[in-house]
Amino acid sequence: MRFLASLIVMLGLLGACVPMAMFASGSGLGYRGLDTDWGTYVSHDNVNAFCLSPALRLLIWDIEGHFGKKIVMNSGYRTPWHNASVGGASSSYHTKCMAADIYIPGVEKERLIAYAFRNSLTGGLGCYPGQRFVHIDVRDRKGRSTPVTFSGC
């Protein structure tokens, strides 16, 4: 019963956010030369955008709908071996299909951080100084009103 209720809520939320994300633009100089993986712009060939949890896809669609522009994924799902090779935490949400490192061409990183921080769907937020992307994940907030933040947020 709990699963069915969760499924109904998720479908309702998806139905509310998909239309906004459908109008997000993926055009302009910032998207030139980028590839796509499963309908998501990716910054290089090693990005896996297939294995993303429904909650993470919902967060991405919400962000795209808010800014009216498609996100570019710098990192999505990582195998445990790939995660170790890039210095990821052993319990990284990237290995659970629950995290992505993203940016939006033409949107200031600070605006993306501010929106992700206020977004109730964001469970974790990483802000890497000197990098154009931010880390978002959909971990459980465990009663917190704001996401877990790390790395320069």
Q: pLDDT (tens digit, 9 = 90+) per residue, 69-117?
A: 999 999 999 999 999 999 888 899 999 999 999 999 999 999 999 999 9
Q: What is the predicted pLDDT for the residue at 9? A: 64
Q: Mind listing the pLDDT tens digit for each residue in 14-63?
A: 555 555 666 788 888 999 999 999 889 999 988 999 999 999 999 999 99
Give the Cα separation of 51 and 68 in Å (integer). 24
Written as six digits, the tokens of 88 are 């990821």
Mean pLDDT, all residues of the chain: 89
At residue 55, what are phi and psi to the nearest 5 degrees?
A: -65, -40
Q: Phi then psi for 21, rounded to 5 degrees?
A: -70, -30
CATH class of this structure's domain 2-150: alpha beta
Q: How far apart are CA 147 and CA 23, in angstroms?
A: 27
Q: Provide the sign of the torsion angle of the four alpha carbons 139, 121, 38, 30, taken in this order.
A: negative
Q: How confident is the model at residue 39, as a pLDDT?
A: 87
3-state helix, strand, coil in the chain (%, to 5): 40, 20, 40
Count of beta carbons in the 10 Å neighbourhood of residue 151: 12
Q: What is residue 15's predicted lDDT score, i.e. its pLDDT?
A: 58
Q: What is the pLDDT of residue 152?
A: 81
